[in-house]
Structure 1
């Protein structure tokens, strides 16, 4: 069940607890917990409903301004399909987050190695697990199509393989590309894999950007902004003017800045410019 970033953020905040979809038949079940960019989202109800019974309260609970907006959105979809009302709630952080930050002991590493070997043996294209981990370690935050091209794979199958590694906490998805987790690095180090740590630049110091979506992240990176403190050097208007930065990204940047005790340059809470030292 696809959900937009803004929709997910509203579910996490508790502002949205309904979604409406036109389906031939239900595609989710009550109790299903979906892994999303904001964590786990649980399906609490799935009901087929006539369009004529929808209310303004339904629209507001789905994050829409009016009943007319809800109906218009449904009319743009396959009008021959029935409408389903799906109840949703935020169910906590993705357990893979804690998993990828936990460095495994020797026994766990051995078990992970056995699992990786099994994936390699089952692959019709030959071993791929360690090569993929090493590639992500060498080229973090690189577009999946570019990584896939490096190893002669199509993008879809490459992403599918990376998802398998992510399930075990060995990699982490970024707005653009991936990075190796502490767990994945421990596995490679234990096996003595030739990681190219010396050839890579060190991670940028400071607070990283929050998850904003690929378009907003690319726009900020193109401006030379890769850390949250660099965002604080810009005004909200300058950031919003970047192509790819919409209301969702701006709202999350503002929340991240506030949590870090920072603010956009032109907003209350921004640090005053440093005064030159007197000689």
Structure 2
């Protein structure tokens, strides 16, 4: 179905909307779910918004051009249906920034929908990795990043807990080496303090050997570090620099 201008004579009696949502399904992991919803009635507010003309967009170098932002606005797929069963996929008027009208989208979202169907379409995370909090895979950044580091605290302040996600190095996907999830653990207390001391005092590394396994160290605040569990035993710090760990330090992650 092709989007079209809202017909002048068209009188809706219901709106059917399809949207996507990522959700956890007990025992099955996280899935992308397609949801079909229906709102009965004339949808008068939405109809009025769809009949409005689009605003003239700002010039690229116009006085107010800097007020426009660059993020994309996604419009849920929806059709309006009249009493004869005719369905129209309407164009949504655009505002001055050449994006779908906010008032039209608000009117669409406020309709009293009821769910007609919910269909799991694609699994995005297995039950095992959902419970582990690690994800099914992780990019192996040792292949693209790293310069010798200066010994310094890796996290300041130090975390009170650290999630360790272990991955097998896998095959290249879209130019990036991807690791496959193996196991996870949470480090706290004395073991964590010993590990942080080893990470903070590790000397700079310029070793560039291969490895079969690596760990992602996650504080929960987007400042992740990566450790090679074999080979050079490099530590890739959040700032992109490399240190080299001892065998004893690596064993704190794996034993």
**TM exceeding 0.5:** no
The answer to which structure has the higher helix fraction is 1
What is the TM-score normalised by the length of structure 2?
A: 0.24
Higher relative contact order (CA 8 A, sep 6+): 2
Greater Rg over alpha carbons, structure: 2
Please give the TM-score of this superposition, normalised by the length of structure 1: 0.23
Which one has the bigger strand percentage? 2
